[in-house]
């Protein structure tokens, strides 16, 4: 793999988060994606699993609770956690705001984020209470090897 320098990532409104795709398949020869996300306290995506990718979360600011079957833990700034492929998981933002990186190996997350996001109207978190088309989100997730298993707030069972 040759070294690549990417331009500043454009801000995207990804569900209820502000996201930036820093590295994707084109810049890593298909090895991994690197996505930065930021969100408000209480934000929680649908319970889901990635059929063919591991996700490593690295918290830059604030704290997230990560939930897998039979295991939940608080991940604070400066700490990392692996959510293995094919294992149901979700997270919840526990601090007033949080910012984290997600390393997806192999690639796929960056394409999903771009597929379901809209260009941010400003370089800030999206307005709270936006409506989401759950069926469209589930269909896009399925196209990218992600299975939605429950609504936001659902936790994996043991």
The pLDDT assigned to 158 comes to: 75
Question: From CA 146, how far away is CA 142, in angstroms rounded?
Answer: 5
In this prediction, residue 17 has a pLDDT band, given cuts at 50, 70 and 90, of very high
> Tell me: the pLDDT tens digits for 67-98?
999 999 999 999 999 999 999 999 999 999 99
In this prediction, residue 138 has a pLDDT band, given cuts at 50, 70 and 90, of very high
> Tell me: the pLDDT tens digits for 27-60?
999 999 999 999 999 999 999 999 999 999 999 9
Residue bearing the bigger pLDDT, 147 or 7: 147
In this prediction, residue 6 has a pLDDT band, given cuts at 50, 70 and 90, of low
With respect to CATH, is domain 12-119+133-152 assigned 3.40.50.300? Answer: no
In this prediction, residue 2 has a pLDDT band, given cuts at 50, 70 and 90, of very low
DSSP letter assigned to residue 89: B
Strands (E), the chain: 12-14, 17-23, 33-40, 46-50, 54-61, 63-68, 71-76, 80-83, 90-93, 97-105, 118-119, 146-152
Indicate the pTM of the whole model. 0.92
> Tell me: the pLDDT tens digits for 96-109?
999 999 999 999 99
The pLDDT assigned to 5 comes to: 53
The pLDDT assigned to 4 comes to: 55
């Amino acid at each position: 793999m040759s070294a690549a320098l990417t331009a500043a990532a454009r801000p995207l409104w990804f569900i209820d988060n502000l996201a930036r795709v820093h590295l994707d398949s084109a810049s890593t020869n298909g090895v991994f994606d690197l996505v930065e996300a930021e969100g408000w306290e209480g934000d929680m995506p649908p319970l889901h699993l990635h059929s063919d990718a591991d996700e490593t979360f690295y918290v830059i600011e604030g704290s997230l609770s990560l939930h897998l079957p039979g295991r939940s833990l608080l991940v604070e700034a400066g700490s990392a956690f692996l959510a293995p492929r094919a294992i149901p998981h979700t997270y919840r933002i526990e601090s007033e705001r949080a910012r984290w990186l997600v390393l997806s190996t192999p690639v796929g997350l960056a394409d999903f984020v771009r597929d379901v996001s809209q260009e941010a109207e400003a370089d800030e978190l999206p307005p709270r209470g936006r409506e989401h088309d759950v069926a469209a989100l589930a269909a896009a997730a399925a196209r990218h090897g992600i299975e939605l298993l429950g609504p936001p707030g659902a936790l994996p069972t043991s």
